[in-house]
Amino acid sequence: MSTLYALRSIFSEPISPVVLFPLVAAGAALIWALWKPRPLDSIPTIGPSGPLSSYIGAFQFMFRGRQMIQEGYERYYGGYFKVPILDRWMVVVSGKKLSDELRSAPEDTFSLDQALVDMLHLDFVFGKKVYLNPLHVTLMKTKMTKTIAALTPDMYDECIQAFEQHMPLDDSKEWKAVPALAVGRQISTIVNNRIVVGYPLCRDPEYINLNLRFIVDMFQCRMLFCLIPRFMEPLVGRIATNIPSQIRLGMRLLKPVLDRRVKQLEESDGDWSALPNDMLSWLIATVPKDETLDTITRRLLGVNVAAIHTISHTFTHSLFYLAANQDFIPPIRAEVEKAVAEDGWTKSAMGKLYLLDSFLKEVLRFNGAQAWSLNRIALKDYTFSDGTFIPKGTSVAACATPVHMDPSVYPEPEKFDPYRFYRLMERDGEANQHLVVKTSLEYLPFGHGSHACPGRFFAANQLKLMIGHLLLNYDIELEQPGALPERVWFEAAVLPHQTAKILYRKRQT
């Protein structure tokens, strides 16, 4: 009542110009700030576009991201559209010409590094020292790919162990059930970490779970940072996110391993070959003298962020397709058996698995990590060749899933066909152009161009080892045979069904 009375008395009395003028001016400034013309206004929006309603659009995008990108592709093919995400607009280009222009723009114009820093808050998570000097990324791009052949026996050794731990076999014909994604994540992370930190840390459940959990902590950090001004991020991040405690945990787990390596090196008079051949040893050999346990831990977490979820999701999607389509299994099994009989579990044997390669390529055509690719940030104002202006600071990406599902690019795109790329290899009598690692503007799960995923050769090799081992030793089935567990889309990202189980038993035939 008293509030009503106060309001009535304000409006019943003539308002003094001294009060009225600043009020009107502030209101006008607010309206101008919210509704003033902006450089991106000329780019059509999918979903609500008002200054306030776009937040509803960002909310819609969380759950309908894939459909919104598809809608943009269909309505504005060959041009641009924008979608709202929590803290920004994302301008999306479609069609070969614009995607190619985005791909080939130099790093000082459209930057992947800056896009990762902005989206994942790498400056806070990894610290300036690490993200401004990403030696671990350089090692993934160079040493890791060059060393695949030498690392493959160790990885296969770890593969046998990880499967035995998480999908133990006995002579019973009874099926056992395991949650596919949880087990897929464990096995992929253990195998991967054999060549990141080596044995025995790669088998330590606390270390494996830290790495699996870290990306969730990064995501929560991103959501929180969307709500606060940039200058508050370091303080809020330290107080309100799990990142600092996770880094401390990583340091505690890594310290004994690091100490042992340094001692080994001293005892061998600096002979690097005395150390295990893995990312940790390469880092010790490469980082500047003033690097600490803290920064090395952050770098190793960074390697895991890039590698383990992409591989484990692709592995889990693959499990579901194989279990749902039993007829896919015998020909892939036969191919693996032949190659391994000739060359053992080696990189060269994995290189002979053309049908498995084609199957994986089809898995990623449907389930590349994101519905868009080539995520970049404009580091300066840029005008596309058709005259479209993109201001500095704008996030830009290219359509990916809509291209993968476009009937003019892939006939019968909705059909999952494990032979799709195998047939092209046979037709051309030359496999290389059609392998899963071959990127193009029509095949974007790994991006394309100078930033195309440098880990894709490694990922393909690891996935072939894991799927090959699975098929040669196990029968698999779905809990509800034939019904492919539905994947989950969140914003532009696709994830395998979170809880669906697969059944397994020792191979019977």
Residues in binding site: 453
Assigned token pair, 326: 């039993």
CB of 491 to ligand HEM, least distance (A): 15
Give me the helices (H) in 226-292, please. 233-240, 243-267, 279-286
CB of 397 to ligand HEM, least distance (A): 8
Q: 183 or 400: whose CB is closer to ligand HEM?
A: 400
For the chain, how far is it from start to end, CA to CA, in angstroms?
82
Q: 176 or 222: whose CB is closer to ligand HEM?
A: 222
Q: 297 or 304: whose CB is closer to ligand HEM?
A: 304
Q: 136 or 261: whose CB is closer to ligand HEM?
A: 136
The residue type of 33 is A
- CA 306/CA 165 separation, integer angstroms: 24
Query: Whose CA is closest to 399, among 120, 60, 77, 89?
Result: 77
Under 8 Å between Cβ of 377 and 363? no
CB of 174 to ligand HEM, least distance (A): 33
CA-atom Rg of the chain in angstroms: 26
Q: 278 or 475: whose CB is closer to ligand HEM?
A: 278
* Cα 285 off chain centre by: 28
Token pair 């609500």 in the structure block, residue: 48
Asked whether the bond before 44 is cis by omega within 30 degrees of 0, the reply is no
- CA 459/CA 443 separation, integer angstroms: 16
CB of 304 to ligand HEM, least distance (A): 9
CA dihedral of residues 50, 54, 60, 62 (deg, nearest 10): 160
Query: Which residues contact ligand HEM (rule: CB under 6 A)?
Result: 112, 137, 140, 144, 306-307, 310-311, 314, 368-369, 373-375, 445-447, 451-456, 458-459
Query: Whose CA is closest to 186, among 162, 158, 156, 219?
Result: 162
- CA 250/CA 341 separation, integer angstroms: 40
CB of 291 to ligand HEM, least distance (A): 19
CB of 393 to ligand HEM, least distance (A): 18
CB of 374 to ligand HEM, least distance (A): 5
- CA 158/CA 202 separation, integer angstroms: 9
Strand 176-179 vs strand 501-506: parallel, antiparallel, or unpaired? antiparallel
Q: How many CB atoms lie within 10 A of CB 385?
A: 8
Q: 246 or 373: whose CB is closer to ligand HEM?
A: 373
Reduced to 3 states (helix: H, G, I; strand: E, B; else coil), residue 276 is coil
Name the closest residue to ligand HEM (Cβ): 455
CB of 310 to ligand HEM, least distance (A): 3
* Cα 133 off chain centre by: 21
CB of 313 to ligand HEM, least distance (A): 7
CB of 406 to ligand HEM, least distance (A): 18
Under 8 Å between Cβ of 51 and 35? yes
- CA 153/CA 347 separation, integer angstroms: 9
- CA 61/CA 69 separation, integer angstroms: 9
- CA 209/CA 149 separation, integer angstroms: 28
Q: 469 or 505: whose CB is closer to ligand HEM?
A: 469
Query: Whose CA is closest to 125, among 206, 30, 220?
Result: 220
Q: 249 or 436: whose CB is closer to ligand HEM?
A: 436
Q: 8 or 146: whose CB is closer to ligand HEM?
A: 146
Reduced to 3 states (helix: H, G, I; strand: E, B; else coil), residue 84 is strand
Q: 237 or 368: whose CB is closer to ligand HEM?
A: 368
- CA 7/CA 298 separation, integer angstroms: 57
The residue type of 435 is L
CB of 364 to ligand HEM, least distance (A): 6
Q: 313 or 434: whose CB is closer to ligand HEM?
A: 313
Binding residues for heme: 453
What residues contact residue 463 under an 8 Å CB cut-off, 6+ apart? Answer: 311, 314, 315, 318, 360
